[in-house]
Amino acid sequence: MWRAAMSEEVGKAIQSVLERVTQAATRRPRTLPAVTPRLVAVSKTKPPEMIVEAYRHGQRNFGENYVNELVEKASDPLILESCPEIKWHFIGHLQKNNVNKLLGVSNLFLVETVDSAKLADRVNSSWQRLRGADTQRLKVMVQINTSGEQNKHGLPPEETVSTVKYIVSQCSALHFLGLMTIGRYGYDLTLGPNPDFQMLLSRRQEVCDSLKLPLEEVELSMGMSTDFEHAIEVGATNVRVGSIIFGNREYPNSATNTPNPSPNPSPAHSPEKTSKVVCEEAAKKMHHLTV
Ligand SMILES: Cc1ncc(COP(=O)(O)O)c(C=O)c1O
């Protein structure tokens, strides 16, 4: 019974978010590349059953923050059997000692959080070693700390061009796909376009100018549950959306948790939920985002 309810909830949420993604893309200025934005469903802390339900409703791209959690889910028998075309995105902080483990994940589609030339080197050599010389290159994005906050990972913005240059010229097993940011939480859009997204756009322009790359070949991963439409309107090609699809995340020892989780998943927010409420929730969970 709860399974049917969960399936319906997840299905409706996916459909609603996809509609909003499509609508937001129509509001993009024509000066931006007309790339169909990719929706990454962030399944961190959510059980394999929910991932399978989202997959059954057509979702293919899923994002995880922790290497161990991703390894576990990617090798889960239910997911292996039900989701043969799943595409895993790694969206959390990557430590060098975890690179081999991560790269062993089957159906790993994209590592969004390469944040130094040294890490790129490690990922490059591991990919060459693990997958052999004539395999496909591994897609990577470079994560930029656009807000300059100390608790955020990511490359200082001024090192973007040199790092991308390094990857493109020295890391033959990697395919540089674009730039990623998390940015400051709870930005008030009535103040104008989100400066973190603007910063990512301008760094992309610099990368394209100095490396002679076409704009449409350098993607932008930015935007989450509270701001993915705005992100798309200003140029995101990849949005990472979790809580409005799967419901709020539950963490051990958190005051925001329900004390006795029922088998019912926490309901996904309705799209009509006011941005104020959503922002308050985002603020509450800020300290849980170790990215
Ligand atoms: C890097 C990253 N992107 C996106 C998300 C999804 O956030 P939300 O649930 O607000 O959509 C998370 C959540 O942990 C995250 O860590």
Q: With pLDDT > 90 as the criterion, what percentage of the chain qualifies? A: 79
In ligand 1, the atom with minimum distance to the C-alpha of 112 is 1
pLDDT digits (tens, 9 = 90+) for 168-220: 999 999 999 999 999 999 999 999 999 999 999 999 999 999 999 999 999 99
For residue 133, the model assigns a pLDDT of 63
**Which two three-digit tokens encode residue 251?**
């963490």
Average pLDDT over residues 234-247: 97
pLDDT class of 257 with cuts at 50, 70, 90: very low
Going by C-alpha positions, the residue among 88, 56, 58 that lies closest to residue 71 is 88
Task: Tell me the CA distances in angstroms from 258 to 4, 111, 249, 269, one per residue in order.
Answer: 22, 32, 11, 16
The residue contributing the CA closest to ligand 1 atom 4 is 240
By most ligand atoms within 8 Å of CB, the mutation choice from 67, 228, 289, 290 for ligand 1 is 289
CA of 77 to the centre of ligand 1 (A): 25
pTM summary value: 0.87
Among 1-10, 27-36, 54-63, 218-227, the least confident range: 1-10
Average pLDDT over residues 6-25: 93
Q: Identify the CATH number of the domain in which residue 153 sits.
A: 3.20.20.10
* Whether the predicted pLDDT of 254 surpasses 60: no
Average pLDDT over residues 262-273: 35
* Whether the predicted pLDDT of 51 surpasses 80: yes
CA of 240 to the centre of ligand 1 (A): 6
- The whole domain housing 171 covers 2-288
- Total number of domains constituting the chain: 1
Q: With pLDDT > 70 as the criterion, what percentage of the chain qualifies? A: 84
pLDDT class of 249 with cuts at 50, 70, 90: confident
Average pLDDT over residues 248-277: 44
- Pairs from 128-133 (Cβ < 8 Å, separation ≥ 24): 128/172, 128/173, 130/100, 130/103, 130/104, 131/103, 131/173
The residue contributing the CA closest to ligand 1 atom 3 is 240
CA of 242 to the centre of ligand 1 (A): 6
Q: What residues does ligand 1 touch, defined as CB less than 6 Å away?
A: 42, 44, 65, 91, 182, 224-225, 240-243, 282, 289, 291
Average pLDDT over residues 213-229: 97
pLDDT class of 271 with cuts at 50, 70, 90: very low
pLDDT digits (tens, 9 = 90+) for 103-125: 999 999 999 999 999 999 999 99
For residue 4, the model assigns a pLDDT of 65
In ligand 1, the atom with minimum distance to the C-alpha of 282 is 10
Cβ pair 36, 219 in contact under 8 A: no
* Whether the predicted pLDDT of 266 surpasses 80: no
Tokens 């890490």 map to which residue?
119
Average pLDDT over residues 70-94: 98
CA of 251 to the centre of ligand 1 (A): 14
- Residue 149 has a CB neighbour count (10 Å cut-off) of 14
Task: Tell me the CA distances in angstroms from 142 to 33, 81, 113, 178, 281, one per residue in order.
Answer: 19, 32, 6, 6, 28
pLDDT class of 156 with cuts at 50, 70, 90: very high
pLDDT class of 251 with cuts at 50, 70, 90: confident
For residue 253, the model assigns a pLDDT of 61
CA of 12 to the centre of ligand 1 (A): 19
Task: Tell me the CA distances in angstroms from 192 to 117, 120, 198, 208, one per residue in order.
Answer: 33, 34, 11, 25
